[in-house]
Each structure stands twice: as C-alpha cells, then as structure tokens.
Amino acid sequence: MSNWKSGAGSLGDATVDPGTPVGKSKIAGSSGISDDGGSNPLTGLSIVTADNMDAAVTMAKG
C-alpha cells in the first residue's frame, strides 16, 4: 500500500484522484468465474490531468 501511495503522490498537482490499488482480479463470463485475472489483470487506477494520453503515460512511468 505504501508503494501505491508513493507512486500516486509523485504525480503532484496532476493527480485528480489517487484511486486505490485493486486486489486480486477475477474474470466473470458465461462459463463461470476465473480467479487468475486473465492475460491483462487490472492492478489499480489513478485519475490524472494531462494534455494528452502520451503525457499521462509519461507521468505514470515516472
């Protein structure tokens, strides 16, 4: 949790909502529920203000 807070805090004034880390991912489908999170499991989210997507990606990379 401290790593999440540190990373979100490093974005400064661009942080609109630091969000929260998401726990273990699951996939729900017609064949049931999978606990493995699939090929691209969601790990969390933060909302930032940026001029464009490239700028947001650069901020997220640190």
CA distance 41 to 39: 6
Backbone angles phi, psi at 6, to 5 degrees: -65, -45
Write out pLDDT tens, residues 19-61.
776 767 777 778 888 887 777 666 667 788 999 999 988 887 7
Residue 3 has pLDDT above 80, yes or no: no
> Which residue type, as a one-letter code, is found at position 14?
A
Reported pTM: 0.47
CA distance 46 to 17: 6
